[in-house]
């Protein structure tokens, strides 16, 4: 055990070290870092009258729509289920879910969105292409006529070849109470 004078010095030394370490770590936070802007890749799709941009990292599958197996007692915006390599995925008609259409579409394209363990398929009419955009390229929703849209799911978009594509907030969509609790919501 240290004697008192040594303890006194020990504590003083600890304080000095802590101050230095705290300053170092604080400086770390303030060090201007050369942060390259992140390029996000999106797939541009069409579903009904919606033109959407979906971040590729939020997608598990994209391609032709497999045969849908119908299930009863589900809301109209759930069209059924499909088999993707022995995995069962539900198929959602997004315009109907959003209240933008009354009847389901007949598109033959399909994208599977995922959020943690939840996977939901969205039926599409067309897959237009892919683009890569930086965060600074994203436009706010207010810049275009997005009043009719659910702002919790769409808050910004991309302008590609003079057409505005709403960026779908996949996390919000897949955690939307109405989607998750479909039995009650209808």
Q: Which is nearer to other proteins, 24 or 162 (CB)?
A: 24
Query: What is the smallest separation between the CB atom of 130 and other proteins, expressed in angstroms?
Result: 18
Q: Are 94 and 176 in contact (CB under 8 A)?
A: no
Q: Which is nearer to other proteins, 64 or 162 (CB)?
A: 64
Backbone angles phi, psi at 94, to 5 degrees: -65, -45
Q: Which is nearer to other proteins, 51 or 156 (CB)?
A: 156
Query: What is the smallest separation between the CB atom of 131 and other proteins, expressed in angstroms?
Result: 17
Q: Which is nearer to other proteins, 2 or 130 (CB)?
A: 2
Residue 2 DSSP SS3:
coil
Task: Give dist(CA 56, CA 114) in Å, integer.
Answer: 10
Nearest-5° Cα angle at 130, 154 to 78: 50
Q: Which is nearer to other proteins, 106 or 145 (CB)?
A: 106
Task: Give dist(CA 172, CA 154) in Å, integer.
Answer: 9
Query: What is the smallest separation between the CB atom of 87 and other proteins, expressed in angstroms?
Result: 7
Query: What is the smallest separation between the CB atom of 46 and other proteins, expressed in angstroms?
Result: 13
Q: Which is nearer to other proteins, 15 or 130 (CB)?
A: 15
Query: What is the smallest separation between the CB atom of 26 and other proteins, expressed in angstroms?
Result: 6
Nearest-5° Cα angle at 110, 132 to 144: 50
Q: Looking up tokens 């994208």, which residue turns up?
A: 111
Query: What is the smallest separation between the CB atom of 51 and other proteins, expressed in angstroms?
Result: 19
Residue 6 DSSP SS3:
helix
Task: Give dist(CA 158, CA 165) in Å, integer.
Answer: 5
Residues 6+ apart with CB under 8 A from 72: none
């Amino acid at each position: 055990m240290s004697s008192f004078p040594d303890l006194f010095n020990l504590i003083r030394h600890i304080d000095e070290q802590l101050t230095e370490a705290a300053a170092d770590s604080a400086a770390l936070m303030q060090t201007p870092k050369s942060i390259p802007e992140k390029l996000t890749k999106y797939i541009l799709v069409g579903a009904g009258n919606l033109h959407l941009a979906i971040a590729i990292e939020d997608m598990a599958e994209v391609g032709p729509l497999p045969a849908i197996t119908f299930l009863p007692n589900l809301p109209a915006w759930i069209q059924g289920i499909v088999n993707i390599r022995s995995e069962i995925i539900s198929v959602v008609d997004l315009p109907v879910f959003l209240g933008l259409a009354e009847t389901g579409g007949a598109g033959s394209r399909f994208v599977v969105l995922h959020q943690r363990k939840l996977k939901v398929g969205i039926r599409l009419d067309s897959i237009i292409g892919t683009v890569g955009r930086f965060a600074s390229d994203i436009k706010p929703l207010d810049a275009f006529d997005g009043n009719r849209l659910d702002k919790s799911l769409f808050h910004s978009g991309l302008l590609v070849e003079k057409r505005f594509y709403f960026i779908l907030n996949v996390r919000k969509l897949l955690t939307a109470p109405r989607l998750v609790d479909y039995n009650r919501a209808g």
